[in-house]
Amino acid sequence: MKDWFAGAVAEHYDEDTALLPVDPVVDVLVELARGGAALELAIGTGRLGLPLAQRGVPVSGIELSADMVAQLRRKPGGSEIPVALGDMATARVDGPFALAYLVRNTIMNLTTQEAQVACFANAAAHLEPGGCFVVEVIVPNTERLHVFDLSDTHVGVDEYDPDTQRNVSHHFGLRDGVWTRRSVPFRAVSPAELDLMARLAGMRLRERWADWDRSPFTAESSKHVSVWEKV
């Protein structure tokens, strides 16, 4: 699996995600952890893992990118979080956990159905009975070309093939007066397919919302936050 977050991406990751909400996400994760430990798949620079740990939840992580982990280690408290360097579909850490979570469409970074199924199985293997696996991901867009971001410094275009569920996100960014392009492959996946992956891993759907504020998920929702419980 290729590391798409190495180098400059890791260096600027916190800057580029500075406007993303943290507190509403952490509030939900603290509640779902129920006083137990949490495992973040693709923990990255610790954008969520560190504030969750500061709320008293013991946090461990799995991360493919060594450069992202290096950014985490530079932060206060970052050296105290155990992180397994490896693929979130297969890497293991000591558990068990009351909560595992995977945010910001990262399940789509696994570009085959087999890898996504393995990720659900890996999450379930880390959970104690009654533990929860939380995934935040977009609902697949049916347009073959879709502009998802347009600003003076960034243009984002998704290229989607519904027959293969292959999605490529093209990012055109302006930094230090220079435009660059980065194209990252994904595998789009529907809520129903994710529910089946969860069932295969011994989990069942407990809740699904349109966002972290627990707003109802409807046919008009562009993304979902889903909570599966290990049976």
Strand blocks (E) in 70-126:
83-85, 97-102
Provide the residue count of the chain. Answer: 231
pLDDT for position 182? 87
Average pLDDT estimate for 196-216: 98
Six-digit token string for 6: 């190495």
Average pLDDT score, the chain? 95
| Number of alpha carbons in the 13 Å side-chain half-sphere of residue 216 | 3
Residue 195 domain-assigned? yes
| Number of alpha carbons in the 13 Å side-chain half-sphere of residue 6 | 7
Q: How many domains does the chain have?
A: 2
Which tens digits make up the pLDDT trace of 69-100? 999 999 999 999 999 999 999 999 999 999 99
Q: With CA atoms as reference, report the closest residue to 4 among 76, 116, 105.
A: 105
Which tens digits make up the pLDDT trace of 147-196? 988 999 999 999 999 889 998 999 998 888 889 898 889 999 999 999 99
Do 120 and 70 reside in the same domain of the chain? Answer: yes
pLDDT for position 4? 87
Residue 225's H or E segment, with its range, is strand 223-230
In terms of pTM, does the model score above 0.85?
yes
Q: What is the domain extent for residue 154?
A: 141-188
Six-digit token string for 218: 């409807």
Question: CATH number, domain at 51?
Answer: 3.40.50.150
